[in-house]
Amino acid sequence: MAERRGLATLAAWHEAGAPEGPEAPAPEPAPLPGLTGELLTVAMAEPYVPDAAQPDDYRCFVVEGAPADGPERFVTGFAVRPGNAAVVHHVIVYAPKGEDAQAQVQALDDAEPGPGYTCFGTAQVPAAVAAAWAPAAAPRTTRRAPASASSRARRWCCRCTTTPSRAAT
């Protein structure tokens, strides 16, 4: 019955020429859920300006995680706060598998000037995906995280894809 009333209302509006309703301010968006519990914040050591000559700039950044001698913890939630949300297309956080892979991401970073290193598709080292983010994604929590995403990793690799041309829009 309610569905018929809704259809009748819609039909009457259409027959009247689909008039606009009264102007009203947009409602406030609902607050995003937050993360709770023990939080570990990791961040880039220095800002990065995407290469404007590239339509998409694929860059991996090494970020320091929890101390290796600390207690083992697992990723059970994450949030990404890009410095320039207009150009960041997505972020994938990798947990390098073992000390050798952690040393490899650092070596890749050290081999290129400026922050991070060029990477397309993966972190370029053996690693497990610990988190992924795209614009408008809310903080996420999981019930279980794989052991490979342990925060015992001393170094994490954050692969960011940016679209520099969006900065001008």
Summarised one tens digit per residue, pLDDT across range 52-71 is 888 899 999 998 876 667 77
Taking residue 160's Cβ as centre, other Cβ atoms within 10 Å add up to 25
- pTM for the model: 0.70
Residue 135: how many CA atoms within 13 Å on its side-chain side?
A: 10
When the pLDDT of each residue in the chain is averaged and rounded to a whole number, the result is 80
pLDDT exceeds 50 at position 138? yes
**Structure token pair of residue 98:** 């073992």
17-51, pLDDT tens digit by residue? Answer: 988 888 888 777 666 567 777 777 777 888 888 88
Query: What local confidence, expressed as pLDDT, does residue 113 receive?
Result: 93
Query: What local confidence, expressed as pLDDT, does residue 105 receive?
Result: 92
Q: Where are the domains of the chain?
A: 58-169
Dihedral sign for Cα atoms in the order 38, 158, 105, 143: positive
